[in-house]
Amino acid sequence: MKTIQPNESVWALRKIIGLTQAEFAALIGASKDAVASWETGRNELSETYARRIGLATGVDGKSLRPGLSVPISAAADGHLYTKADFERHQQTELGMTEAAAAQRLEYCLDTLTLLLQAAARASEDQKGQRWPGLLDSFRQWGERAREDFELGPALEALLAERRFRAGMTQEYRDWRAMARGNPEGLAAAGFKNDPSKGEREELRLELELVPEWAPGQSMKPPKPARMKMVGPPSLRYGATGS
């Protein structure tokens, strides 16, 4: 059985920049357990995460391997990594202006567009074989990125900025089912249960809505794939506005 040495260089790097295991994990999109496993030698640091750590901190990712006790800077002179290297990297490499951030976003969107267009074009000759797999891969990446980098609250805030009002028509039986789960919330939206109305009769209400996270699907008003009513968080549904 292969024995993996504790990765002292990862531990030393984390101590130099002054982050807990949980904070370091969030910085690189890993779990706290993964960071602990590298430091103790339970698991080996992969090339993927070594490269990601280098991009996030300015350290030479190749120096983060068992047998080395100190990390090396990615600078040309290859000096021992210091807290000043981290602060400089954060300022020069990651402290982008709004214009630079917008340009980087444009590059990423162009890459994604080309990938999807290439898959769609290739699928014409392969009976659609590539497109579904690529789309599913993108959706999985979106979910994983949201979780790994703890972007949930920021995404919720961005989606909340897309608040809109829309009319929704449902049968009374559907409104009543929603009201049983949250009578106060639905009443605030204007629903009044009229016993004289049959289950299949329709009612239209004007609701204030926000889109919900749905990678690979529409998250823009007026018809996002999933949405929730503004207000009580427990009142959620999957119908689209009409």
pTM check: above 0.75 = no
Range of the domain at 129: 98-150
Position 217 scores a pLDDT of: 92
Is the same domain home to 178 and 204? yes
Is the same domain home to 82 and 129? no
Is 193 part of any domain? yes
Here the CATH number for the domain that contains residue 25 is: 1.10.260.40
Is the same domain home to 229 and 204? yes
Position 105 scores a pLDDT of: 87
Is 3 part of any domain? no
Is 30 part of any domain? yes
pLDDT digits (tens, 9 = 90+) for 142-177: 999 999 888 999 999 999 999 998 888 889 999 999
Position 208 scores a pLDDT of: 84
Is the same domain home to 115 and 66? no
- Please state the domain count of the chain: 3
Question: Greater confidence, 22 or 208?
Answer: 22
Provide the strand spans (E) within the chain: 164-171, 202-211, 227-229, 236-237
Lowest-pLDDT choice from 83-92, 111-120, 180-189, 225-234: 225-234
Q: What is the pLDDT confidence band of residue 128, given thresholds at 50, 70 and 90?
A: low
Is the same domain home to 187 and 172? yes
In terms of residues, how long is the chain? 242
Q: What is the pLDDT confidence band of residue 207, given thresholds at 50, 70 and 90?
A: confident
Is the same domain home to 13 and 69? yes
Report the run of H or E that residue 52 belongs to, with start and end. Answer: helix 47-57
Edge-first strand listing for the sheet containing 202-211: 164-171, 202-211, 227-229, 236-237
Is 63 part of any domain? yes
Is 169 part of any domain? yes
Q: Is the peptide bond before 71 cis (omega within 30 degrees of 0)?
A: no
End residue of a domain, out of 48, 73, 92: 92
Lowest-pLDDT choice from 39-53, 122-136, 191-205: 122-136
End residue of a domain, out of 92, 117, 140: 92
Position 95 scores a pLDDT of: 66
End residue of a domain, out of 46, 65, 92: 92
Is the same domain home to 69 and 107? no
Tokens of 230: 């503004």
pLDDT digits (tens, 9 = 90+) for 208-236: 889 999 998 999 998 899 988 775 433 34
Is 218 part of any domain? yes
Tokens of 167: 């009319």
- Mean pLDDT taken over the chain: 86
Whether residue 94 has pLDDT greater than 80: no
Whether residue 124 has pLDDT greater than 70: no
Mean pLDDT of 20-31: 93
